Every structure is written in C-alpha cells, then in structure tokens.
Amino acid sequence: MFLKNNKKLLLIFLALITIISSRSFAQIQSDRSDTTWSIVMPESLVRNLDMKQALIGSAKDSLVIDFIINTGKYKFRVDSIYFRGMDASAFSLVSGFPVYSLESGSSANAEIRFVPSRIGLHSAIVVIITQADTLNLTIVGEGVQPRVEIVSKIIDFGKVVIGNSKDSLRAVTIKNLSPVTPVTINLTKHNKPNDIDFTTIAGGGTFILGGGQTKKMDLRFTPSDAGRTSGTLEFYFDGIGSPLQVQLFGEGIKNSPKISANLSSFPDMICLNSAQTDLTISNTGGNPLFISKIAFSGANSTDFSVPGFTPLTIEKDSSKKLTVLFIPSQTGIRSASLDITCNSDPDSVISIPVTGRKDSVSLSSSTNIIDLGILCPNETKDTTFLISNTGTVEASAKISSLPDFTVNTTLLNLKEFEKQNVSLHFSGRTNEGIISETIKLTDTLCNFTKEITIKGIIQKPVITANDISIVSFVGSFKDEEIVLENTSDRDLTINNPPTIADNRFVMISPVFPMFIPAKSRKTIQTRYTPTDTLSVTIKLTFEASPCSIQKDVTVTGSATESSAILMIGSADGKVGDIIEIPVYLKNPIRIIQSGTTGFEADLSFNSTLLVPMEEPKGNVLNGKRIIPLNLQITGSNNDELTRLKFFVCLGSDSETALALDNIKSINGKVSISKIDGNFKLLGICYEGGKRLIEPDGKIGVITLSPNPANDEINITFSSIEKALTEIIIYNILGEKVITAYSEVISKPEIRNITVPTASLSAGTYMIIFRTQTILESYNLYIIKK
C-alpha cells in the first residue's frame, strides 16, 4: 500500500537497497547482529472541513480538533501543510504549524482562519505532506454580506479624574448595512476586562435598527482607580458576526482639586415665608479647591440665595458649610440650579438641583365689600358670598359674628381648591343712617385674618311732585305735565295709576308700573276737558315702592269760553254776471287757544237767482239751494275764510237772503254768532210793474216717450228763460254719453226733439235739464230687444 501510493518513495527505497547490496554484500553476509529490518506503512486519517459562514472582510478562526489522526501502529512526521486552489488565499493556518510527529493513536489540532473576499462559496484543497504520504482534503466556507457593522470600533474617553464622569454623547456605534431590512438587537451589554467603569446612559438594551439606520448612544466613563483601563460594548443579534464589539478605553487620574457638594433639603413651609438649609462643599482632590462664585440659575433662581458669600479656598480632604436661604415669591414647588464655579478639573462649574416648597394657608372671598345698597327702615336683606381655599393645604376658618347679621355657618373646613357659599342675613334697622361693619375670616392654622366690609344705607326714599292748574275752553281740552321726581339715591316704582274720580280729567298714555331711577324724574301728561266754566279740583295719590311711600298731587281745572262772529258778505249783479261773495270770521276771542281749527255751516239762498260755480253745489229743496261750507281758520282777527263764486240768473225774485245755518266749530268749542248777507238782482224792468218771468210759463221737461226706450226717445220740454238751455244724458257713472240739446232760447216756447239711443247699451241713464236757474233730472231706461 505504501509503495502503491508513493512512487517517489519506492524509487528512493530501491536505490537504497542497490547501494547496500553493491557496497557491503559481503559484510551483510557476515554480520552477526540480531537486528531485523522490516518495511512498515504509517496510517493517518483526515477529514474534509467546512468553515461555515463568515462575513466578508472579517476573519473567522476555527479550532479543528483531531485535524490529523495517527490511526496506525507507528509514529509518523508531518512535514508541511499548505492550501491550493482558486480560493486558497481565503484560508490560512493560524496555529498547528509543522514540523511535528504523531505517535500511534494520537492526533494533532489546527487553528484555521477563513477570510472570505466575496459573497458565496469558497473552496480549496488542504495539502498535508507527511514522511510517508501526501494527504489532500477539501476545505469550504461561505462568504456572506454583513448585516450590521461597528461604526466607532474604538471610543477613548481620555483622562478623567477619579470619581468624576465623562460622557460620550450621541456616539454612533452600530449601523444596519441593509437599506431596507430591519435588524433587531437582542441585547446590549458591557463586558470584560472592565465592565464597571464603563456604563451606558441612554440608547442601550433591546432595539431595532431600520434600513440604513445607525444607533446613537450616550456612554459614560467613571474611573474608580488611577491608570489606563478598557472594556467592551457588545451588541447581540440573530446573525453571522454576533456579537459585535466596540472597544472602550479611558484613564483615571488623580492630580487636581476635586469638588463634591451636598445640599440638604429645605423644610416645607406653611405659615413661614422663608427657610434655610446647609450646603456642604468638599475637596476630594489632591490640591486646594478655590470657590470663586456661587450663583443660582433657572426659572425660580431669584427665590434662592447664599447670604454673605465671598470667594473661599478649601484644602484637600476638607469641607466648608454654607447657608442657603429660600424666600419663595409664590407658593408651590420652586426649583433652580445652584451653580458653583471653581478650579476643579474637569468640572470647573458644577450644578446642583435645588428645590423648595412653599405651602400656604390662603382663604379668599368672592368680594371684599358686600354692598347692601339702600334699604328702607326695618327692611331685611339676604346675600351670599363665596369663600375659596386658594392655598395649597386643607384649611379651617372661623367667621366672626356681628349684631343685626347672621351667617349660616361660623366654621369652615375647606380642602385645597374647595369653595363654599356663605349666606348672610341682615335683620334690618329702624333708624336711618349708614351701615358700616366688618366680618373677619380667621384661619385656625396660621391665624391669618381676612376682612370683608359690609356697607349700606338705611334711608326712606323721597318723591316730589308739583301741583298743577289747567285752564281750558269749554268743550276743548288742555294738557299739563305732572313732574314726579325721585330725589333719593334709590330707584322707585309706581306700580299703579292713581284713582281719578272726575272723568273730565284723564292721564294721557301713562305706562305702569312706572320706573323712576334715582335722582331722575318722569312726567305724566294730564288732560282736562271742561264741560262748563266752573272750576274743579281733584287730588291724585301716587303710591311708590319700595317702602310704600305716597305723594299727593292737587290738580285744578278751570274753563273759559271762546267766541267769534261768522259773517257772509252781500252782493248784487245782473243776469249773466259772475259774482264773488266773501265769508268772514269777525271778532274772534281765544279761538286758537280753544283748539278750534275751523267751522262747518250751511248757506241757503233762492236757487233761481244764483248758481254755484264751484263744488260743492249743494241741493235744492223747496226753491232753496243749500250749500255745505267747510271753513278753515288762518289766524288773523278779521279773517276772510273763503270767497264763493256764483252765476247770476233771471230768477223768481229780485233778491234773496244769504243765510248761514247749522254752524259748528271744528275740534274746539266756540260760542259763535252770525251775520247773514243779501243778494239783489239788478237790471229789472219796472214798466207796467215789476216783472221777472212769464207768469203762466212753465219750465222743464214735459214728456219722455217711450221710456223704457230702444232706438230713440222723444223729449218735449218748455222754457221761458232767455238763456242757454241744455239736455244731456249721463250713464250711472256720471259720464256724459249724449248731448241731446244745447241752444240759447230767445223767447218762451215748447219744443219737441227726437234723440237716437241705438248706441246706448241696456241699463239706467239720467237725463239732465239745465238752464240758468233750473237744474232737473229724469231717469231713462234703455232696453234691447
């Protein structure tokens, strides 16, 4: 087997035999030694190796136990071990280098390093040369992409005074190399050689690194002894390369002043306004400590102080005690930072949190002044006020008592922020005057007192009013004002109107209840309408609240009469003239004062002599025309109220009276007299005696035939006036539809006319017969067959 496997060794062996045979054959023949030579075969065992996975760019060392095993009976020697193949450079021998010998049954170990250069499988041949054989075995390993890497592989804190701390804030330690896939760090811990002085402040423990994310951590080095030291920060995760390590280095020194300070707590304050405590400053360094400045900073820095501080020196291993004073500006927890400036290295300024608490007993009232206002004598008043615990602790308080006043409770127990209503009753006082009292609210813990002032006025309200006298005209009214004035400082209300016994007096639109504010007035219009000239006096009693006060007002009414003469002028004229007749108001006495604005009257006269030219034209009754007049007063003493226009006709008489009848005043009452006028017709013929008209003549329509009519109607009429005579047909709306006749008649006669009516629709119409002195109307009925 040995010869079969190694031809080179076989040739060497044959050469040796030849040399021995040729040079010393005889000697061998004659050798007497009992040594026996034999050819032996060493036996060895090797196995293929799998280095598993390793990160690209990193080295993975594996100790291979029983790398070569001597399974034979004879010792053999290992002369050389090397790697060959395409990936031979990825593998190397770290320990177990030849030359060495293996006894029968023994084995040799080897430490092999795998450093992958790419992703994927790496493969090589391990060649082992022994004195008897050349052994080949296969070694493989897989290069994998690392998931995470250490960014800061070494963090050196430098020199730090023993007992002090130095922080490496926001140090970037580890990074997720995948841009997408997150990595979970299962554990972060400090490890040997020094896992005491190095600590993690923030960012350790278990966490997840997102794609491409780095982890920033706050680390601290607090040396406990002098000298250089080191430790590790390890990150454990599920994957190749776990745990990853960051090397931590630092050096502890003791060669400068070292400050330490201790501030005792302030006692809690309730009733007091200040407190103090001790500040102890120690030098634990090797040189004197110089304190140059002590100051306070922060939100409530002005609440704290170190009275009488001056720069001081503290020898090594010595201490100084100072007093810190706390005077809070308000209640609650007050915080600041006590900053000490010194020559300590590296902490030239150290800051100590300082906190004090000020509790307070504080009771407040919803009002400091209770104003009862203005009260009537013996009037009671109830009010309430709110007591609040505005302090920071539970409080009890006593309420003092007062004459004429009672409260619903004299002892309050209020928790923090609690409130309670207190009812206050004033029982009233008889005498008028000022109320001025004080209620005291005293807490039972600190004996603080809160005062609440009670004020008010006992006063009966006063209302004044003027008596009035009203002078009017009989039948007319006159208004006067009653002025009610509230002269007091309290508002008044007149709830109901006073009773008025005489119906000649009345209040104009009063609104009750009537509110009269303090120091103000209200007016009430009072109207008097006399029915005669006798004077009358009434008493009005006004009742006001509060306090049920009364005020009587005397109202006197008296009356006078107004008078005037209504006169119509006289005129004359010939037939066919247009005349104007004035109407006057003469000798008016207090007409305007009576409220009279005008007069109504009827004017009557002979209807055959005068015809009105303006509206209204009135009606004719028994030969008399009666015109209604509406006469407005314009103001002058001899006032011409109007002028009436008439057309003079040849009438049944030579003159007529112009009579004013049914005279009435408008709005007022006036004693009125009248003077009538007269009209006289001129141009009368007196030959053979006075004659005006044909004695036997007849004027007007004699017959209407047929009536009802259809297509036409025959009208017979008679006229004795030498003047314009007209016959006109009107519809029921007063619209002229047909002028049947319109001529000036020169002599008395009887005429007959035919009037076509075919254009008229069925219905009722009116035929008007009109001369200078006559106006008559007749009904006409139109029917259609």
How many angstroms separate the CA atoms of 223 and 159, rounded?
A: 9
The contacts of residue 351 (CB under 8 Å, 6+ apart) are 297, 337, 338, 339, 340
| Structural tokens at position 679 | 């009209």
**564 and 591 Cβ atoms separated by less than 8 Å:** yes
Pairwise CA distance, residues 219 & 227, whole Å: 19
Tokens of 372: 């009862």
* Encoded amino acid at 764, one letter: T
Q: What share of the chain has pLDDT > 70, as a percent?
A: 91
Tell me the CATH architecture of domain 44-144.
Answer: Sandwich (2.60)
Over the stretch 602-634, which tens digit does the pLDDT of each residue have? 999 998 889 998 889 889 888 899 999 999 987
Between CA 780 and CA 706 the distance in angstroms is 9
CATH topology for the 463-560 domain:
Immunoglobulin-like (2.60.40)
**pLDDT digit string (tens) for 682-721?**
877 544 444 454 444 467 788 888 989 988 999 988 877 6
Lowest mean pLDDT among 3-17, 632-646, 758-772: 3-17
Instruction: Tell me the two tokens of residue 31.
Output: 């050798």
As a whole number, mean pLDDT of residues 406-420 equals: 91
- Superfamily classification of domain 259-358: Immunoglobulins (2.60.40.10)
And the tokens for 216?
């920033």
Report the Cα–Cα distance between both ends of the chain, in Å, rounded: 167
pLDDT in tens, 268-297: 888 888 999 999 999 987 789 999 999 999
Q: Give the CATH H-level superfamily of domain 363-458.
A: Immunoglobulins (2.60.40.10)
At 301, which amino acid appears? S
Element (H, E) at 28: helix 7-30
Residue 370 has pLDDT above 90, yes or no: yes
What pLDDT sits at residue 117? Answer: 87
Residue with the larger pLDDT of the pair 170 and 736:
736
In this model, does residue 560 exceed pLDDT 60?
yes
Mean pLDDT of 241-252: 89
Q: What pLDDT, in 10s, does the model give residues 65-105?
A: 989 999 888 899 999 999 999 999 999 998 888 999 999 88
**pLDDT reading at 731 higher than 60:** yes
Write the CATH number of the domain with boundaries 148-253: 2.60.40.10
pLDDT of residue 516: 93
Sign of CA dihedral 494, 497, 501, 504: positive
- Report pLDDT for 696: 44
Round to whole Å and give the CA distance between 616 and 626. 10
Name the more confident of 585 and 623. Answer: 585
Per the DSSP assignment, residues forming a β-bridge with 412 are: 397
**Nearest to 559, CA basis, from 530, 536, 537, 538:** 530
State residue 698's pLDDT score. Answer: 60
According to the model, what pLDDT value does residue 41 have?
63
For residue 9, report the phi and psi dihedrals to the nearest 5 degrees. -65, -35
CATH hierarchy code of domain 563-681: 2.60.40.680
**CB-facing half-sphere around the CA of 298: CA atoms within 13 A:** 18
Are 601 and 566 contacting, i.e. CB atoms less than 8 angstroms apart?
Answer: yes
* Closest C-alpha among 536, 534, 521 to residue 482: 521
What strands, in cross-sheet order, belong to the sheet with 549-560? Answer: 468-473, 549-560, 536-545, 492-494, 514-516
Considering the entire predicted model, what is its pTM? Answer: 0.39
pLDDT at 33: 42
Cα dihedral sign for 23, 27, 33, 36?
positive
233: tokens are 């920060």
CATH number for the segment(s) 700-782: 2.60.40.2550
Can you say whether residue 231 is alpha, beta or left, with left for phi > 0 and alpha for psi between -120 and 50 degrees?
beta
- Which of 3-17, 176-190, 269-283 shows the lowest per-residue confidence on average (mean pLDDT)? 3-17
